[in-house]
Each structure stands twice: as structure tokens, then as C-alpha cells.
Chain A
Amino acid sequence: MSWRVPLTEIELAESDVEATMGVLESGWLTMGPRTQQLERAFAQSVGAEHAVAVSSCTAALHLACLAAGVGQGDEVIVPAMTFVATAHGPRRCGAEVVLGESVSVTDPNLDPADVVERITPHTKAVIAVHLCGYPADVDGLRSVCADRDLFLIEDCAQAAGGRMADGRALGSVGDLGCFSFSSKTLLGVGEGGIVVTDDADLAARVGSLRSHAMTSVTWDRHRGHAETYDVTDLGFNYRIDEVRAALAHARLTRLEPELARRRDVVRAYRQRLAALEGLELPYDDGAVDRSGHFAFPVLLGDRSVRDRVRAYMHDRGIQTSFYPSLTQFTAYAPSDVAGTRPRAEEFADRHCVLPLFPLTETRVEAVVAELSDALG
């Protein structure tokens, strides 16, 4: 269907198209100079030592878990309130996924105090998610993890460009940070992702496993050619290709201004929605200043109100969305899990994500007007 206001719109600049065409014209399509260029630029942009570009953020999370040594018999704590890919990473390593609770209904990110309660001798890692782009308390989580020798992995799929209060980039606080270049993100190239870390060993392991643990990749780079290769571990094909790397690089150079435009839209929304009866705004102005602004959630009365409002908006051509909590999925919900993560579940039930991209003021007002009508 054709939406009056879609959830998001991708804007590609002429420079993006030029970068893409340049690769196609060069005829070199995989894992070459553009991937290296992207990795260098991305590492620099988040202030990390290393970046390894991969096929998706799901792949990034899987490799981050493997690099952290997550395996069968281990437990990994992930927020109950996240996209399923966060949990698929540790699950694919054979580990058990332990669902953590949100800080509150208005801050659905992982609560460090709750994480402490869920740590067992089997716990190997914690995955913090910056949901919708809003910074999780990674400093709090980092001290929890450091005290117990656990890995902290940041899922920054929705948080490229997001910052901590002191200016550090999201993704640079934990041992490993995982980003997405999936089509709807600010750095969307179609499908893609990247892992950042300051640790050379972790980076080497991620780099090796992304391409079937073949030794000649490194060998090639250092000597200009390889006589043959060996395979030292069970790896994967999680490579990105040059076209996507070039596009991601082109978009990375525009990330700051794009983020600023989204931030303006979010502020415009919040200003107009603050006084609306029956609606609550999650997060605070400080979080808005620092968010990666992937999505703009608002809280409604309860699940039935939310579903009714969404249907109303849908009928008026305005696309909305929401994220189920993992407790709602058959794959992650044993019969006794419902109701055990009340803050995460309440956020999942009550929130509705409104259209977010560089919207005109008129369209922001149209969304707000329909939302007021739906609630009134």
C-alpha cells in the first residue's frame, strides 16, 4: 500500500550513488580497498582501535559472542526488550539466553541492578542494547561486568552516532560493539554490519571467522599473494562486499547532519505531544540529545489502546510499528516467562513507534493530529 507517512524513508545522496557506481565500474566486488576504507573510517568515528565489516548486525553479534568465547553451557544476559537478533547471537553459539529486565517503562534499556541478580557461575557475557538509539547505562553495566570478568557486548544496531553524556560513542564502551547497515538504519546499505573493538585479539578472531577462518586473507594482505591457505576453525561467510562497503562509507560521512535532522524531528514531536492526554513520552531530553534516533517510541495507555491507535493510524495512511519483547515470542517464551519481566513487557505492550526520518513540519503535525484524534 502507499502510505501517507511511512515509518521511515531512505534518502540516498548523489555521492552515495556515485560511490556505488564507482565500485561496479572498477569490477572488484568483494573484500577489497573499500571495505578496508570503511573499517578505518568507522573505527575512527567511534574512537575504537579496530572495526571489522560483516554481512549484518546479526552476524556481528554472533561473531562478537564467539570472540568472547561464548559456547555451549554458557549463559548470556540480554534485555527482554530488544529485537530478536540480539538473542539469536548467543543462541547460535549454543548458549542459554537469559532475559534481563528494563530500568523502567520510560527507560526500557537493560537495568544493571537486575543484571546483577541474574548472574550465575555460567554467565559469560552481557549484551546491552541501545533500544531505538537511546543510550543504555553501559557504564553501569561495564562495572557489573568488570567485577565478575564478564564480556560486555553493545548491540548498537539502532544507535550509530549515539553518544554517552561525556561524548564517548556508543559501541566504544563495551568489549565489542555491533552496528547495523540494514536498510532502515541511518547507515543503511541494504544488508550489512560492523564490529568495533579496542582489543586486537578479539578483532583478529572476528576477522578470521567472518571468512571461514581462512588464513590466506591475512597472508594475502601482508605478502601480496598466497600460495595456499589453511582453515583453522569453523568459520562462516559473513563477508560484506565492496558495493555495500562503499555505500556505507559514503553514508558515514553524512551521519552527523542526518542525525541532527532526525533529532530536530524528535524534538518537534515531543514538544507537540508533551501535553497530549493518554500519552507518555519515554526517555528524557538528555537522552534525546545523545540518541542515535533510529526510532521514536511513545507510550499509550495499554496494549488494547495501542493496538486500536495503530489500526486507526493505519487506516489514515500513517505507518507505525512496535517491538515485541522476547517474552512474547514462541522461541524465547517458556510457559512460565510471561509476567516475569513486567517493566519490559509493559513497554512492549504500551509503546508505539511513530514515523521518523527527516519529516517536514507539516507531516509531523499530520501525524500528531491523527494521533490526537485516535486518542480523543
Chain B
Amino acid sequence: MGPRTELFEREFADHLGVEHVLALSSGTAALHLACIAAGVGEGDEVIVPSQTFVATVNAVLYTGATPVFADIVGPHDLNIDPDAVEAAIGDRTKAVIPVHYAGYPVAIQRLAELCATRGLSLIEDAAHAPSATAGGRKLGSFGLAGCFSFFSNKVLCCGEGGALSTDSGEVAERVRRLRSQGMTATTMDRHRGKAMEYDVGEPGFNYRIDDPRSALLSSRLKRLDAEIERRRELVLRYRELLDGQPGVILPWGKSDVAGSSCYMMAVLIEDGRRDEVRRTLQARHGVQTTIYPAVHELETYRRRLPGVSLPYSEQVAASMFSIPLFPHMSEQTQDEVVAALTDSIGG
């Protein structure tokens, strides 16, 4: 970590409109450090969606706290339901981690108010959502911390990487120490002659990024808005082409696209035909799709957190896949995907 990491952190903070960004080894690392910074620990509960990648839930488990799942709004909005969050708040609740799923903002203002009223920390899982906005404000700037992923399939990517955004100087300092073993001075400080010694108070981790990855991120950040704009165009075009297609639900609406980073194009297939349609898409048309299990239904979480029932999350997990979406996708490829999907659903 040196000058290129510092530069990327400054640029990304400016991009998001926050005071501090700390670049990290992964989005998982960002979520873990955000939980620690929020004071989450043994005996606490943290409210999370199940319609997310396991990292959201694991970050809570790493601290010894208990994740409490809240259901999503429904098949037309895959984000956590603020009413379900409110209902899940108990005496031991310490924080809420909403996920801006697929790049679409959750009801973040409402959750921010709810957390403020109830004295809870709000941690935004914005792994899918760099540059997405709510009310004109960038996601990741509403809570105590925003957590971003730069994993290779993400909107802004470098291979493996992540970042934490925050307006709190205190959170930033703690995360800065914890990402580098808890050391009070870094190698760079010592190289610059600024420090001769260091202490370790709170044991930390190696959650550092390195300068080559930061340089790549700086370079890609310059193209991010243009690439997301292209993603939005493609999503709007998908929506038009698939409009009225029987047996298909497209979550969210046309008017939500402008605020989304459009990380993925989610499609719900009705009547329990998801797996069959998916197989046809692959076998007959060579179209790759991805499915997303609900976390609470995966083996280790069934064991650790038994007895969870989340009807909408389960329904979506069983009926959704994502279809190809990337900024340099041609309209011709898109037409082929739509034709393949129509054909696969038709039988």
C-alpha cells in the first residue's frame, strides 16, 4: 500500500461524496471491519437479508454476533423489506446491513431514519452498487459505513478487492489500523521515515489491498459512469424486449434503472420452470445464466441458524436467474439472448 492506494481512496471518496475511503482486500473484509467498527460482538444481533451473497452474513458471524434474517419486499423488489427489518428489531439488535441487491437501492432513507430512531448502526452492503444513487446521493454514503467489492465480476473490478466508505473519522482510523494487523504505523510510514516503532493494541487482520490493484481501480473508476450508463441502456432495452413475455417477471421497474448501477439483469421464471428453462438456455443456446441461493437455505446456515422461514426470499431463490449483461455487450448479442429465452420458455 503506497501512493496509488492513497490516490484511489481519495478519488473513490470524492466519487461517492464521503469523507473517507479505505481500500481493502475484499468486500467481505469491508463488511467484517464495518461490523467491528459498529461495535458488533458476541451477544449482539444484526439484521440482514437472506437474498444476498454469504459474505454479508459471514461478516456478522466472524464477530461472534447472530445474524437475524429479514425477508425481501417481494418478487418485484428483491431488496430487504423495511417493515420486516422493523419487526425483527429486538433488545439485542446492534446493526442493520441492507444490501443494494443487483445495484438497486433499498429504501435507504427509511432505513436510515429507522436506525437513527432505534439507535442502531446502519452498514450498507454496496458490493453490487458503486455509483448507484438514492435521491441523488451515492449509495454507501448513508450509513455508518458502506462496503464495496471489486471482485472480478463486479461493476468496478480489479480481481480481488474491496473498500469501506465512511464519514466518521473514528471509524476510518480504526479500519485503517485493523486492516493492517492492528499496527499503529504502516510499512509506508516507516519507509517515509515518519515512524520508527509501532504498537499493536487491538489485534487486526491482513485486509490490505496493494498498489497494482489500486492503480487498476483508479484507471477503471474513470470509465465507471460511462460503463454504468451503457449497462442502464442495455437493461432498459432488455425490459422493452421482454415486456409482456408470459411466464417472466422482471424485478423493479423502468423508473428504477436510472438510480441503479445495473450490476446484473435478474429474471424470475414462473410456474416452477426455472431450472428447466435454464438448462435449455445452456444446452440449446449456449447462454450462461447464474442462480443465487438464499443464504438461510444453505447447509451451514440451516445448521447454525435453524428454523428460518422467508417466503419471498425462498420464492425468488427458486425462480430467479441472471442473464448476460456487460457494458461491451452488443445489441445483436442481446437480441440473441432474448430470442433464446423466449424459445426456452416456449418449450
Contacts and interface: CB of A to CB of B under 8 A. Distances in A.
A285 interface: no
Interface in A229-263: 229-237, 239-244
B193 A1 contact: yes
Contact of A237 (B28, B212, B300): B28
Interface stretch (A167-175, A267-275, A325-333, A357-365): A325-333
Contact of B58 (A190, A235, A329): A235
Interface in A12-64: 20, 24, 28-30, 55-59
Contacts of B210: 183, 189-191, 244
B151, B160, B201 pick with most chain A CB within 10 angstroms: B160
Interface stretch (A84-92, A144-152, A290-298): A84-92
Interface string A317-351: 00101001000111110000000000000000000
Interface stretch (B69-77, B94-102, B128-136, B179-187): B179-187
Interface in B228-284: 275, 282
Interface residues of A, number: 57
Given A29-B159, A30-B159, A236 B25 contact: no
B206 interface: yes
B158 interface: yes
Interface residues of B, number: 52
A233 B58 CA distance: 10
Contact of B182 (A212, A241, A331): A331
Contact of A241 (B160, B187, B201, B208): B160
B54 interface: yes
A119 interface: no
Contact of B300 (A88, A233, A242): A233
Given A190-B210, A244-B159, A88 B25 contact: no
B126 interface: no
Contacts of A241: 152, 158-160, 213
Given A229-B293, A237-B55, A242-B159, A29 B152 contact: yes
A91 B199 CA distance: 17
A120 interface: no
A374 to B, nearest CB: 15
A241 B152 CA distance: 9
Given A191-B210, A231-B300, A330-B200, A88 B205 contact: yes
B192 interface: yes
B55 to A, nearest CB: 7
B112 interface: no
B208 A30 contact: no
Interface in A86-104: 87-88, 91-92
Interface in B297-320: 298-301, 304
A214 B159 CA distance: 18
A160 interface: no
Given A20-B212, A331-B200, A332-B200, A58 B58 contact: no
Contact of B299 (A232, A239, A244): A232
Nearest to A23: B159
A205 interface: no
A310 interface: yes
A330 B204 contact: no
Given A56-B206, A84-B182, A331-B182, A237 B192 contact: no
B206 A236 contact: no
B300 A234 contact: yes
A223 to B, nearest CB: 13
A190 to B, nearest CB: 3
A71 interface: no
Given A230-B299, A330-B199, A331-B203, A236 B28 contact: yes
B33 interface: no
27 contacts: A6-B191, A30-B151, A30-B152, A55-B26, A56-B206, A88-B203, A88-B205, A92-B203, A183-B187, A189-B210, A190-B212, A190-B213, A191-B25, A213-B300, A228-B291, A230-B293, A230-B298, A231-B300, A232-B300, A237-B25, A241-B158, A241-B213, A244-B159, A314-B196, A319-B190, A330-B201, A332-B200
Given A85-B206, A183-B210, A232-B299, 11 more contacts: A29-B158, A58-B181, A191-B209, A191-B210, A225-B282, A231-B298, A239-B160, A319-B190, A319-B193, A329-B201, A330-B200
Interface of A: 1, 3, 6-7, 20, 24, 28-30, 55-59, 84-85, 87-88, 91-92, 183-184, 189-191, 212-214, 225, 227-237, 239-244, 310-311, 314, 319, 321, 324, 328-332
